[in-house]
Chain A
């Protein structure tokens, strides 16, 4: 919203603050000023619209002038001169639903001359970013910019019948609007209509059919109030934001409609000499219940702000912004909210904390430490776990990446996800961002391709959330890219798995997924539960190198509680060790043979260690292991050790293995 400094100065008696200082004061007390620019001899103060969202009154200069007068201690001048409209109304107004249109006021004029506005009027409008069109339309915009009351002028000769209807649009009803567009409406849109149909979208835009033109001689001047939600719904549905809709959606003051007509009448008499009012005021409204006053306890206010303020000062502050204050007792006020602040903005005592606080200045409050008992905050185990995983991965050389939560259909399909089964973005920012990721892998794959352009080898990880229709699952994904045969990378990730999740094992997967190397893919198991996947990307998916990937479900890992370590007494008797070599077929699993050996070694087996894998002629392999055995309460005799060894050999042979002994 642009504010003309000269305009504000006209409304604040004796204002002598420079534009730059005024902008600074407004920022500190009222709303954020984004800058001051000169516009001819005037200066324009630009205020951030977001900081005016709750202030319908500040969408006009008079509202801002009220703030400025209160801040600077000057007197506010009212541009609206009270004027009574005698005579019977010249037009009938029929409001279908007062919820949607609490008030509709109108005047009819004749002997209208349409011509360009005088320079002073056109310049005022241009200073605040409104285009000058003709004297009649410009007056409506001027009043809007001055007292925040949007208005509309219809060419009375182009209206049908003597009644203006304010009603919901019929399904499929059309309106050709002033902006040259045509809109197809439905019952959620409120329209202004004559006997033949819609002539305006209430609070949003006028119709082309009744627009002011050079030939206009009679006008109906509308000054109405519309429901904020209704205007906003229509405006967002039709994607049509106008100066009027922006104001109405902030909940304008119904009291203001007649003030708007009073001000417009004075201006029209200046810019269209000879213009004559036809009859009196048409003014349809349902009396609104008065908002009850807000009870303000001074002690409560002091506690909220954290400083004491004299009751007289509180009263002075509130009265300067035209709140009415009645004293209930020495420490209690009854505060009446002015109509232009009462529509949505101020209704509870907390709102008054802001009014008093900003005007007295937050810099007058001394920071105070709260007197709260010391408490140990509840722990956040998940966060601790994720940070632990991160730090372990970084220590192993992995760099952390963050990826978007969005995927394209193609990215999902490559990884076997049906886009229809994913969470979909109804209004994606780009075509390739229309799904939420059900897996971290598609973007990990993208990271590999992107970084392979710059590095011969690299490793990285991400902790992020998979998003499924039934919930979010935190995952850890790590990747290693290298220009080699890929074996070392897989084992490096296996080592990482063991660092991150002690006790995890890897079980080769008989059914690799399409993006996996069919012979280099495995489940990561914790106990019997699959908690992740270790694999190499299918070589066809990675150019000029190999990429190994680890994907772990952190929600599952987090559930596995590692018991606190329990001390065990140190062994007092020495252990014995012996080596065994098992001859196996080419694709026998080292882990499986080891498990078998262990299962046959009995209760005195302390540990089993894989030593080497030796290729034999004819494609067989010899796998060597070292078994360490010992009893807790004595030293095993050589006979006992031999007996264990013999039993293992015998059992293995019985299971069909050939042992070299």
Chain B
């Protein structure tokens, strides 16, 4: 039956020629839809002999499969082209700026302070706090600096008044050391503590001096704490702070709340000890005062110095921050200037 074969050729040509999804669908409906020309062709098979019928039926099946395969392939082609076109139309410029707020910055002193707090806590130290407005007793007397002691000259003091207070009975703490006494009073020995915080000195402000700055006090009180332990701790801590092995040395330094008292120097990290402008060609940089806690301070804290002793140190947090970020003007830290602070 040539009719079937002709129809098949027209249908295939129609599929080939179609240029849209709708066009191939129209071809499918025309030939293979419920009333399609090839679909209806089988209805005329009744007039044929059984052999003819079988042969035509088989042929029609082959045509149908051939058409469907081709149809699906073309359909997939159109769909994929349509998807491509849609995706292509969705091109965006990813170099355009992203909207939304960016994180701000923690103050550099906060960052270094937090790092040190974490470090000390990992070594079993507790973090304590003390008031910025202190009494003369905690700031000086309890630390073995009685009234009219020349050591009070080392720390120019802001004295305070308020209506209800005895005249100049309070002051702005000149160091974080009062927390040694407050900490021992509160927690008792054995104690490993640090106390970071804001301190005040009545000094003229310039690029390297501030009347408001930050310190980190540290103290360990236990049985038989020795100079050897102090050196061990300082070396361990400073190596962690500077992220490398540091060489330290102790030399005599006078602070009434420690006995013996030391200035701790580290070998210059810039030149390695051979001498450079940073270490003033000495090979060493003065870093922190420390010493064994004076028995008078332990007694003032209610601790028996025959039973307990310890070491203490005072780290200049502000100074450490300036070293770490190479900040050449201390005033920037308290300036509130976002051009500076946004850099951290």
* Interface residue total, chain A, C-beta cutoff 8 A: 93
Known contacts A53-B151, A400-B107; decide if A426 and B204 are in contact (CB<8 Å).
Answer: no
A204-246 at interface with B (beta carbon < 8 Å): 228-229, 232-233, 236
Asked whether, in the complex, the Cβ of B225 is within 8 Å of the Cβ of A370, the reply is yes
Asked whether, in the complex, the Cβ of A362 is within 8 Å of the Cβ of B342, the reply is no
Asked whether, in the complex, the Cβ of A429 is within 8 Å of the Cβ of B204, the reply is yes
Stretch at the interface among B10-18, B44-52, B72-80, B117-125: B117-125
Cβ contacts B127-150/A at 8 Å (1 or 0 each): 111011100000000000001101
Any A CB within 8 A of the CB of B172: yes
Any A CB within 8 A of the CB of B110: yes
Chain B residues within 8 Å of A54, by CB: 151, 254, 256
Any A CB within 8 A of the CB of B292: yes
Asked whether, in the complex, the Cβ of A367 is within 8 Å of the Cβ of B232, the reply is yes
Chain B residues within 8 Å of A420, by CB: 163
Stretch at the interface among B85-93, B257-265, B271-279: B257-265
Checking B126, B235, B338 against A378 with a beta-carbon cut-off of 8 angstroms, the contacting residue is B126
Asked whether, in the complex, the Cβ of A465 is within 8 Å of the Cβ of B132, the reply is yes
Chain B residues within 8 Å of A362, by CB: 227, 231, 249-251, 262
Asked whether, in the complex, the Cβ of A370 is within 8 Å of the Cβ of B227, the reply is no
Asked whether, in the complex, the Cβ of A353 is within 8 Å of the Cβ of B292, the reply is yes
Total CB contacts across the A-B interface at under 8 A: 240
Stretch at the interface among A29-37, A528-536, A644-652: A29-37
Q: How far is the CB of B100 from chain A (nearest CB, A)?
A: 9
Checking B154, B203, B259, B334 against A350 with a beta-carbon cut-off of 8 angstroms, the contacting residue is B259
In the bound assembly, the distance between CA atoms of A368 and B133 in angstroms comes to 38
Any A CB within 8 A of the CB of B202: yes
Asked whether, in the complex, the Cβ of B110 is within 8 Å of the Cβ of A350, the reply is no
Asked whether, in the complex, the Cβ of B162 is within 8 Å of the Cβ of A424, the reply is yes
Known contacts A394-B105, A425-B160; decide if A399 and B227 are in contact (CB<8 Å).
Answer: no
B294-344 at interface with A (beta carbon < 8 Å): 294-295, 309, 333-339, 341-342
Known contacts A229-B148, A250-B150, A304-B292; decide if A402 and B250 are in contact (CB<8 Å).
Answer: no
Any A CB within 8 A of the CB of B84: no
Asked whether, in the complex, the Cβ of A27 is within 8 Å of the Cβ of B251, the reply is yes
Asked whether, in the complex, the Cβ of A350 is within 8 Å of the Cβ of B260, the reply is yes
Any B CB within 8 A of the CB of A443: yes
Chain A residues within 8 Å of B337, by CB: 450-451
Chain A residue nearest in CB terms to B220: A370
Asked whether, in the complex, the Cβ of B161 is within 8 Å of the Cβ of A423, the reply is yes
Asked whether, in the complex, the Cβ of B292 is within 8 Å of the Cβ of A404, the reply is no
Stretch at the interface among A152-160, A453-461, A502-510: A453-461
Any A CB within 8 A of the CB of B1: no
In the bound assembly, the distance between CA atoms of A467 and B212 in angstroms comes to 15
A284-301 at interface with B (beta carbon < 8 Å): none
Any B CB within 8 A of the CB of A7: no
Chain A residues within 8 Å of B249, by CB: 28, 362-363
Q: Give me 19 other A-B pairs in contact (C-beta within 8 A), A51-B254, A380-B127, A390-B110 excluded.
A: A29-B252, A52-B254, A232-B148, A306-B228, A307-B228, A350-B294, A357-B260, A358-B252, A362-B249, A363-B249, A372-B190, A397-B102, A399-B105, A400-B341, A402-B107, A403-B336, A425-B160, A429-B205, A429-B211
